[in-house]
């Protein structure tokens, strides 16, 4: 078999685990769903509540872009951050392994002259915030769901690991110059290593520097929490548009379950996994599968459609094609050493 054929087989092999998980999730949903109830629920949606839900989704996305702009140390403006964020989500909806996160780094390395390693470090912090908030929501709501204290153990473990991760990034960023000096001394006798590796490590560590600034750290984290709050408002209005009334704490539980659920490898856009996470959360709260699946369909549709439209606008504006960007990502033509 030639190199091209082996490369194609490798690419297919990388897609298979996520596709298998999504297919299993879809099959489980298919077998457990009352389709007549689902269609009735969707057809009865109240548009007067749907449009506010759409508005809150857009605000949530905008706040996330502002938080990312802070993490990028304001090296880009809001428009650039917002459009690039949606370009990344569009890539996530097309390709597996959340390739859009790396795609964001590639896009900003071209359009804003930033190091890809620097951008990647800010995305790591952003995702760490998400995991911390999701774990916090589960910690706060699990006792109401199960009334058994030890069910919180997994959420506690996740939150502890996140805190350790944030502290480690803070310590590394605080001691960046010492780390770089030691690495330079270590690699000085190794021909070519310092020139290739040290600038990239330096760029990566620069992205963590925002954690050493208390005001920037608190502001970025506060904005992310606001983004989650408006995401909760979107969910509140969506559930009400389906005629479902939940207690306020339940929305925190649902968001936490979905956030951790879609971290599981799946097909592009989290197809099947997003829906089964929503249905599972609703079922644990004692609500019907049809209601949960209907809300999941609409919520997922809003996300994919809006981010897809803005993402396509971004690619057109940047003069970039999705296929060309994918090839660059596959060939790892992504990172510049210096921001």
* pLDDT tens per residue across all 339 residues of the chain: 555 445 554 555 566 677 777 788 788 888 877 778 778 878 888 888 999 999 999 999 999 999 999 999 999 999 999 999 999 999 988 887 778 888 999 899 889 988 888 898 899 889 889 988 888 888 888 888 876 444 556 667 767 777 787 778 777 777 777 776 776 666 665 555 555 666 767 776 777 788 888 888 889 999 999 999 999 999 999 999 988 889 999 999 999 989 887 877 666 767 788 888 899 899 888 888 888 889 999 999 999 999 999 999 999 998 888 888 887 776 655 554 444
Q: What is the DSSP string of 127-157?
A: HHHHHHHHHHHHHHHHHHHH--GGGGHHHHH
| Digit-coded pLDDT (tens) for 229-269 | 999 999 999 999 988 889 999 999 999 989 887 877 666 76
Distance separating alpha carbons of residues 247 and 235, to the nearest angstrom: 12
pTM for the complete prediction? 0.83
Among 259, 225, 251, residue whose Cα is nearest residue 134: 259
**145 vs 252, 263, 337, CA distance in Å?**
11, 22, 48
**Domain locations in the chain as residue ranges:** 55-330
The pairs formed by 316-325 with CB atoms below 8 angstroms and a separation of 24 or more are 317/83, 318/87, 318/107, 318/110, 318/111, 320/107, 320/110, 322/90, 322/91, 322/94, 325/91, 325/103, 325/106, 325/107
**174 vs 53, 189, 209, 211, 213, CA distance in Å?**
41, 27, 7, 9, 10
Among 19, 34, 25, residue whose Cα is nearest residue 276: 25
| Digit-coded pLDDT (tens) for 62-101 | 999 999 999 999 999 999 999 999 999 999 888 877 788 8
209: tokens are 């520097």
Backbone torsions φ then ψ of 324, nearest 5 degrees: -65, -40
- Quickly list H helices, the chain: 3-32, 35-43, 47-71, 78-94, 99-111, 116-146, 153-174, 176-187, 193-207, 214-241, 248-261, 273-284, 289-318, 322-330
Query: What value does the CA radius of gyration of the chain take, rounded to a whole number of Å?
Result: 21
């Amino acid at each position: 078999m030639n190199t091209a054929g082996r490369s194609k087989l490798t690419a297919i092999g990388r897609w298979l685990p996520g596709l298998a998980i999504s297919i299993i999730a879809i099959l489980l949903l298919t077998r457990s769903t009352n389709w007549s109830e689902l269609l009735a629920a969707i057809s009865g949606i109240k548009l007067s509540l749907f449009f506010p839900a759409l508005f809150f989704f857009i605000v949530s996305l905008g706040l996330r872009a502002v938080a990312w702009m802070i993490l990028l140390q304001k090296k880009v403006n809001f428009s650039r951050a917002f459009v690039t964020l949606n370009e990344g989500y569009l890539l996530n909806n097309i390709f597996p392994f959340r390739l859009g996160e790396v795609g964001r780094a590639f896009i900003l390395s071209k359009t804003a002259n930033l190091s890809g390693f620097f951008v990647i470090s800010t995305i790591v912090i952003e995702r760490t915030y998400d995991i911390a908030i999701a774990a916090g929501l589960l910690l706060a709501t699990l006792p109401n769901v199960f009334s058994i204290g030890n069910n919180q153990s997994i959420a506690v473990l996740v939150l502890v690991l996140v805190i350790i991760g944030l502290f480690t990034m803070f310590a590394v960023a605080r001691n960046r110059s010492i780390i770089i000096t030691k690495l330079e001394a270590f690699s000085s006798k190794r021909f070519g290593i310092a020139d290739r590796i040290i600038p990239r490590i330096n760029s990566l560590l620069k992205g963590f520097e925002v954690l050493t600034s208390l005001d920037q750290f608190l502001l970025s984290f506060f904005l992310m929490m606001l983004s989650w709050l408006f995401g909760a408002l979107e969910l509140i209005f969506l559930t009400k548009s389906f005629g479902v009334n939940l207690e306020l704490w339940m929305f925190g539980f649902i968001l936490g379950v979905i956030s951790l659920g879609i971290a599981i490898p799946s097909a592009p856009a989290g197809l099947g996994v997003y829906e089964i996470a929503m249905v599972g959360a609703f079922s644990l709260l004692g609500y019907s599968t049809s209601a949960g699946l209907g809300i999941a369909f609409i919520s997922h549709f809003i996300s994919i459609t809006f981010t897809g439209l803005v993402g396509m606008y971004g690619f057109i504006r940047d003069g970039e094609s999705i296929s060309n960007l994918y090839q660059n990502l596959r060939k790892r033509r992504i990172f510049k050493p210096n921001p």
